[in-house]
Amino acid sequence: MKILLINQAFVSPDEPGHTRHFEMAKFLQTRGHELVIVASDLNYQTGKRTVERKGIFAEQNIEGIKILRSYIFPALHRSYFWRVISFFSFMFSSIYTALQIKDVDLILGTTPPIFQAVSAWFVAWIRRKPFLLEVRDLWPEFGVSMGVLKNPLVILLARWLEKFLYNRATHILVNSPAYKEYMINKDVPENKITYIPYGTDIDMFNPSIDGSSIRKELKLEDKFIVLYAGALGQANDIDTILRAAERLKQYDKIYFVLFGDGKERERLQNKANQMKLSNVIFAGVRPKKEMPQVIASADVCLAILQDISMFRTTYPNKVFDYMAAGCAMVLVIDGITRELIESSYGGVFVQPNDDEALASTILDLSQNADIVKQMGLNARDYLVKNLDRRDKLNETLVLLESLRKKT
């Protein structure tokens, strides 16, 4: 079976970001199938080019995985207007690029951004092949909730496009049970939706990994490290972390280390400097293959999002990686992720936007090493039993094979 994926934000292990689709491609390869990926030629965290491209696209081969890097207008870290222009540029270039790939059995589109899913639908329609729509976040609802989408006409058109894709998809794959419920309430037939959580690679992330080299590099060998790893964007509410760090400035043992990049990084660094936060380190980006060592350097890991009701429906990928690494978690996200962490006894929940409670929780954990260790062990045990990515990829393969039969 040959599957075509269109994913603007695809990253390889040599780039910063989430590599789930690369891991899916490797898994399918071991089962005798091929996943060909059409991606943009920019990394979504850094905004930097990933390849030298002379035409509309450049071809890569990474560990036997074929990746076609298609043109995108370089404006991912500018205003929302220019970001939309960037999304549209990839939508059109990816259609051209995808149509160069022959003998495809199934088209996989992923959202957000939603425009690349339109590309996947169009290619599937032209090729008369099944179209699997993977929904990783609920767009446009997240954009409306965050205040990014404000124009009533734009919102109306966005919701029309969302409904169009739900109707045209042969099947829909979601990574959150709340997304399935949301779609059913939008009159999408329940039997058209499959929920499979992403999980994580339990071999890549595990408690035996030594993070001392990262601690030494940061000159924090004897400190209590609170680690955040991920995008530094509007949704991530890093401002609450900075306010909590300000409350803990007097405790020279506690450091906040932020690995990642994004649209808000420069503003956040300037704000931290203005607040004179010597206990906050912006550590830059690391490729995914180095993230196991990065996470292993932490005493506790931090997952945080803005206090928006729609974010209660989502599972951030970093949560699974933290759990697999056996790292106790401070979770500042309500909803289904809170239910996950409380079920696993793998961390502590703090109400979003409450920097006072966040600071108090971190101070308490820094003084209770045994509790921190036990929470990390609990998290790892729960993840291995319930969210091993190999199991989830097997479930995904069953779905792909069932859709192929509809050709």
- What's 39's domain CATH number? 3.40.50.2000
204: in domain: no
Residue 54 and residue 47 in contact, taking contact as beta carbons nearer than 8 Å: no
CB 117 within 8 A of CB 110: yes
Would you say residue 294 lies in a domain?
A: yes
**Does residue 353 lie in a domain region?**
yes
User: What total of structural domains would you count in the chain?
Assistant: 2
Could you tell me if 264 and 372 lie in one domain?
A: yes
Task: Convert the pLDDT of each residue in 138-174 to its tens digit.
Answer: 988 888 888 778 888 888 988 999 999 999 999 999 9
Q: In what side-by-side order are the strands of the sheet with 171-174?
A: 57-62, 65-70, 34-40, 2-6, 106-111, 131-135, 171-174, 193-195
Kindly state whether residues 192 and 265 are assigned to the same domain: no
Residue 380's pLDDT is: 97
Write down the pLDDT at residue 238: 97
Does residue 100 belong to any structural domain of this protein?
Answer: yes
Whether 186 and 249 share a structural domain: no
Q: Say whether both 59 and 28 belong to one domain.
A: yes
35 assigned to some structural domain: yes
pLDDT at 407: 60
Shared-domain flag, residues 151 and 46: yes
Specify the pLDDT at position 46. Answer: 74
Residues 367 and 399 in one domain: no
Distance CA 226, CA 327 (A): 10
The predicted-structure confidence for 81-113, as pLDDT tens digits, reads as follows 777 788 889 999 999 999 999 999 999 999 988
In this predicted structure, what is the pLDDT of residue 11? 87
The reply to whether 158 and 266 lie within a common domain is no
**Same domain as 247, residue 143:** no
Residue 205 lies in a domain: no
Confidence of residue 384 (pLDDT cuts 50, 70, 90): very high
Euclidean distance between CA atoms 213 and 73, whole angstroms: 38
Is residue 207, in this structure, part of any structural domain at all?
Answer: no
How far apart are alpha carbons 212 and 222 in whole angstroms?
10
Whether pLDDT at 310 is above 70 = yes
Closest by Cα among 210, 250, 242 to 226:
242
- Whole-number average pLDDT of the chain: 93
Task: Say whether both 244 and 263 belong to one domain.
Answer: yes
Domain that holds residue 240: 212-386
Q: pTM for the full model?
A: 0.90
Name 244's Cβ contacts closer than 8 Å, sequence gap at least 6: 256, 355, 356, 358, 359, 362
pLDDT in tens, 26-54: 999 999 999 999 999 887 777 777 788 88
Q: Quick one: 186 and 325 in the same domain?
A: no
Whether 184 and 297 map to the same domain: the answer is: no
In this structure, are 139 and 93 located in the same domain? yes
Whether the CA torsion 64, 66, 72, 76 is positive or negative: it is negative
3-state secondary structure the chain: CEEEEECCCCCCCCCCCCCHHHHHHHHHHHCCCEEEEEEECECCCCCCECCCCCCCEEEEEECCEEEEEECCCCCCCCCHHHHHHHHHHHHHHHHHHHCCCCCCCEEEEEECCHHHHHHHHHHHHHHCCCEEEEECCCCCHHHHHHCCCCCHHHHHHHHHHHHHHHHHCCEEEECCHHHHHHHHHCCCCHHHEEECCCCECCCCCCCCCCCHHHHHHHCCCCCEEEEEECCCCHHHCHHHHHHHHHHCCCCCCEEEEEECCCCCHHHHHHHHHHCCCCCEEEEECCCHHHHHHHHHCCCEEEEECCCCHHHHHCCCHHHHHHHHCCCEEEEECCCHHHHHHHHHCCEEECCCCCHHHHHHHHHHHHCCHHHHHHHHHHHHHHHHHHCEHHHHHHHHHHHHHHHHCCC
pLDDT digits (tens, 9 = 90+) for 281-293: 999 999 989 999 9
Mean pLDDT confidence for 335-357: 96
- Whether 190 is covered by a domain: the verdict is yes
Angle (nearest 5°) at CA 78 between 18 and 117: 50
Q: What sign for the dihedral angle of Cα 381, 382, 385, 387?
A: negative
Mean pLDDT, to the nearest integer, of 215-221?
A: 96
- Average pLDDT (355-380) is 97
